[in-house]
Chain A
Amino acid sequence: MEVLLGVEALESGYGSIQVLWGSSLEVASNQCVVLLGVNGAGKTTLLKTIAGLLPARKGKITFKGADITGLKPNSRIAGGIGYMSELGIFPNLTVEENLKLGGYFRSEKDNRKRAGEMYEYFPDLRAYAKKMGASLSGGQRKMLGVAKTLMSHPGLVIMDEPSSGLSPKFVKKVIEVLKFLHEQEKLSMLIAEQNVSFLDFAQKIYILDKGRVSFDGDVQELKGNDTIRETYFGISR
């Protein structure tokens, strides 16, 4: 399989606090990867460093074979990395404006067509087109976040906890949508989560623990591994 995103021995952090201590991972084309880890494990730091919001202190990031470690965030986004933060949207702008910003560096015409497709995927959003992002329900906000990210036709979608703040019912729905998009748009995804519901949908799983990758493998391997089961789900039978 062709490697789309490569992260090698990445170190990063905030000010005097180092959070990542040499994390490596790979996302292949057309692959869904879930990055699991508890609060404070460094998931968001890792994603932000990949997007360029935080500088890499050591290590290397490649995308489609090219070294992007030193690029500015906007060049990385324009290069085909879509990023959905935990917040995901601009609450003080309308749904329409959110979508427009999602495709900021693409042509007006292209944006209009793409927005049309997004309204097809998420019919709810069309009704709210002129409303503020803040007026949407939690689930709808996540949908808008996904739609906004897809506006730029990214080759890879990075998501930071798409389940956060959602009730189990909506988490299920988000997963369904992502599954559908994965098939429909041949999307590659890197999803940071704590919610184990995302596991079944991942083709590959990394576990991040105190800024280091402590496990990589598929769901079967994860489920067969007792220590990890206990550490991360708490209850052993």
Chain B
Amino acid sequence: MYKYILRRILIMIPMLVLISIIVFTFSKLAPGDPFTGEFDPRITKDILDKKRAMFNLYDPPYKQYLSWLKNVLQGNFGVSMRFGFPVSDLLAERIPNTLFLAITSLIITLIVSIPIGIISARRPYSLIDYSATTFGFLGLATPNFYAGLIAIYLFSIQFGWLPAQGTITAGADYTGLALFWDKFKHVIMPASTLGLAQTAGYMRYMRSEMMEVMGKDFIRTARSKGMPERVILYKHTLRNALIPIITLLGFEFGALVAGAVITENVFSWPGVGTLFLNAVINRDYPIIMAINLIIATMVLVGNLLADIFYVIVDPRIRYD
């Protein structure tokens, strides 16, 4: 197992290199550079050229890439051309926020979708099932920026229950439990909107997975042993139904981070999504590269984690 994980991690390296080459090519293909949009006429071309030279923008692209790669191998993601700060500092500010958002979203998704999925699988074509289905489809069909806006309108402005923007209350200086509660109130709305489609999807998926497993022979075996319904549902069925869900989860992370671009925008959530959006617009390629690399790594690690979880829930799978 450990050897397997190690191998998987090693194999990520060439993948990441390839990804970085592609991203680099893309960002070099895009016209302009971070200084194109900055044309304060008092800032003469010479000043800009000096800055461009500072970032080696006049080197041939392959050289730029190689020096970037060399730096990354030494753990240095370079300096943002736009902000002048080390990219790693910028990311360190934002990644925790995005992770917090994404993980909360994932938790909400699971907390909501799995039980509802189970209930609708247990009573298919019941009122609950139909309501869940309707909600599910609505969730799938509502663009999440709109869901976010409507949520802000309702819960923040009309009812005043939840804060609309940011991660914590500015100037409140909460500590301990109050801080936690404050953060929770801030994250709940963006996290739910971010996970809206996922929640809906998982719910449908859970339902069909549960129904499928319920039809399996071994459930009949468990029934024939006189196991109560509760045991059959939560022990025998659920564990099997969760297996494919876990695979999905592995892929989910990348999607969440991508979706975060939009949600972060609506909720002014200071995460990597908005940073990335701006970096793309500004051609701040050290940031683009770093974020892509990190997302790719997260996706790869997500897949790896999914595989590891897989082993935990499904004894049929063994890696060695």
A, B: real partners: no
